[in-house]
Amino acid sequence: MHSFQEGITAFRKEDFAAAAPSFASAAAAHIDATRTAHAYAWLARTYLHLHRIPEAMEAAKQALDSDKNLPNAQTAMAEVYFRQGKFAEAVDVLLPLVKSQNATARTYLVLAMIHQATANYKNARNLIELAHQIDAQDPDVDEMWMLSMSPSERIEEWKKRLAGGKYEDEEEKTDLAGAIVVLEDQKKNPNRTCKLVNKVNATEAKLQRLMPGVGQLQGYKLAVKVNGVNSSLQLDTGASGILVNAHVAEKAGIAKIADFRVGGIGDKGAAQGYVGFAKKLQIGELQFENCYIDVVDKKRLSDVDGLIGADVFEDYLIDIDFPNERFRLSQLPPYPDQTAEQPSLQSEETGRSNLHNRWIPPEYAKFEQVYRFGHMLLLPVRLNKAADHLFLLDTGAWDNTLTPAAAREVTKVHAASDFKVKGLSGEVKKIYTADDVELTFGHFRQRRDDLVAFDLSSVSNHVGTEVSGTLGFAMLYLLEIKLDYRDNLVDFSFDPNRFH
């Protein structure tokens, strides 16, 4: 068991490159069935951290082949299912373990992740507490437990994590350091909450066309005043927070708080930028004060001054009426056990915790239930007659896309050197097209030929579950879309008589 203990030690230090060979050696020793199953189970989750998904599945299968009744082996398979976007299959494995009182810390962890994605935040909090009580040294358990803390508690824990070298790579180290600086700034300046300051809880604004060329409608923008400076920000459900370019930031006098990197589609890596502070933001009739916003070190961003993620309006019901080019916000119905609260603009992570479970207001009964990971809303989409895949709702993407792996499940895929795809992280190098694909989501169905396909593994690795494509602007602009980020609900409506 010497190799196995070395693997556990390396895993707890988040040195997954060292943990993998140790667990592989322990599994190959075949001391007995149960020990072999434990080694394969930990090898599977180590491979998940290394983004080696096929190998993780094979290791999880080997764990079950060695001891199919071992809770650790069953949980490892559920973890692979979660990474593949197969949440129902994961739940089918995990719930019997909980009911039979055979749950491990990671059983509760994966269940907490599923509850988090389905807006059952109270359940998620309880589950992660159970996981932490069982194994506080597990880095994945510890990370999710820290995120459930108050901001002041989290600062100290994150400082310990940084000082102890408990981060997966230099990218996570940089992000952690920047997050600490922002939280410390919030602690020193508790008024920086981006609160609504005028007594207007609903507004309507015109969507401005984003047309980089004659007849080329590629998206819509919102007029946003930043410290009184006019800007046009692309409305992007695939982005997070408010991002402006360096030109707007300089003109508006945005104060720098902390360095940060902004990632996106492309193969050149994240762009450099910083978290800044704006004294005033105005969107339509809504006026907010003391807001964090992100700044990217670029003068221009593809014919816009920046991006505004729909998630910043999570305190509102969001109505994006593309056909009539109108953007509306109205207050969400309060939870049954609380009174209405003054809405804020969630322009940056504030540490605010939601300890409610998903509640579907009666007037939203026909909305679709989706999964939320941070700012991303993932919808189950059926490709031809295959099983559902998770697609990102992305008004900032020019068109529907899918990954080559998902495309190959249902149709033929061809290299397409004549296509160019660019994002915040530069140009995508390998582009493909997929023959004859039918996308089915909610009550809608669309058949497409030559759908663009490219790798989205960087997005999937960041989210922690498989993102198989995007539902983009070329289709979404035909629809009126209503979004409730609080309870992970969306509604799509299409009126052929209205669209013109």
CA distances from 411 to 309, 439, 450 (A): 33, 12, 11
Helix (H, G, I), strand (E, B) or coil at 343: coil
Tell me how far apart the alpha carbons of residues 493 and 161 are, in angstroms, rounded to a whole number.
46
What are the residues whose beta carbons fall under 8 Å from the beta carbon of 139, sequence distance 6 or more?
11, 12, 14, 166
Which pLDDT value is given to residue 161? 82
What residues does 481 pair with on adjacent strands?
320, 492
The residue with tokens 């209205």 is: 498
Q: Per residue in 368-398, pLDDT tens?
A: 999 999 999 999 999 998 889 999 999 998 8
- pLDDT value at residue 393: 96
Q: Which pLDDT belongs to residue 91?
A: 98
Per-residue pLDDT of the chain (500 residues; tens, 9 = 90+): 589 999 999 999 999 999 999 999 999 998 899 999 999 999 999 999 999 999 999 999 999 999 999 999 999 999 999 999 999 999 999 999 999 999 999 999 999 999 999 999 999 999 999 999 999 999 999 999 988 888 778 888 888 888 887 777 777 788 888 888 888 888 898 888 898 998 888 899 999 999 776 567 889 999 999 999 999 999 999 988 999 999 999 999 999 998 887 655 444 446 678 999 999 999 989 999 999 999 988 655 567 899 999 999 999 999 999 999 999 999 999 998 877 777 888 876 555 566 889 999 999 999 999 999 999 999 999 999 888 999 999 999 888 999 999 999 999 988 876 665 555 545 567 888 898 999 999 888 889 888 889 999 989 998 999 999 999 998 999 999 999 999 999 999 987 776 54
Contacts made by residues 178-184, CB under 8 angstroms, sequence distance 24+? 178/258, 178/259, 178/260, 178/275, 179/349, 180/155, 181/257, 181/258, 181/275, 182/257, 182/258, 182/275, 182/292, 182/348, 182/349, 183/151, 183/154, 183/155, 183/158, 183/351, 184/155
Long-range Cβ contact pairs of 280-283 (< 8 A, separation 24 or more): 280/225, 280/226, 280/227, 280/228, 281/194, 281/224, 281/225, 281/226, 281/242, 281/345, 281/347, 282/224, 282/225, 283/203, 283/205, 283/222, 283/223, 283/224, 283/225, 283/308, 283/345
- Would you state the structure tokens that stand for residue 461, as one six-digit string? 């690795």
Other CB atoms within 10 Å distance of the CB of residue 137:
11
In sign, the C-alpha dihedral spanning 225, 297, 485, 350 is: negative
- Asked if 393 and 377 count as a contact pair (C-beta separation under 8 A), the reply is yes
With H, G, I as helix, E, B as strand and everything else as coil, classify residue 480: strand
Q: What's 207's DSSP letter?
A: P
CA–CA gap between residue 40 and residue 72 (Å, rounded):
10
**Which pTM does this prediction carry?**
0.91
Determine the Cα–Cα distance for residues 279 and 285; give it in Å rounded to an integer: 17
> Domains of the chain (ranges plus CATH)?
2-148 (1.25.40.10), 195-353 (2.40.70.10), 369-493 (2.40.70.10)
Q: In the prediction, which pLDDT does 242 show?
A: 93
